[in-house]
Amino acid sequence: ELKKWDVTIPSLEEQNKISNFINQIDESITLHQRKLERLQEVKKGLLQKMFV
């Protein structure tokens, strides 16, 4: 049954490009998450100052 399927596998160069692209997206997500955490801390601090 599996012999009937025509499966194409990307070349090694294409696999490397895909891997690099995914790594860049992952790094971007990590940076944005850190920025969001910093902004949430700033927000928390400002709210505390408002209600002192």
User: Domain ranges in the chain?
Assistant: 26-52
Round to whole Å and give the CA distance between 40 and 22: 27
User: Residue 4 has what pLDDT?
Assistant: 84
Q: Do the beta carbons of residue 48 and residue 40 sit within 8 Å?
A: no
For CA atoms 13, 14, 19, 21, give the dihedral sign. positive
The reported pLDDT for the residue numbered 3 is 77
Tell if the pTM clears 0.85, that is, is over it: no
Specify the range with the lowest mean pLDDT, choosing from 2-6, 11-15, 16-20: 2-6
Average pLDDT over residues 11-29: 98
CA angle 20, 24, 29 (to 5 degrees): 150
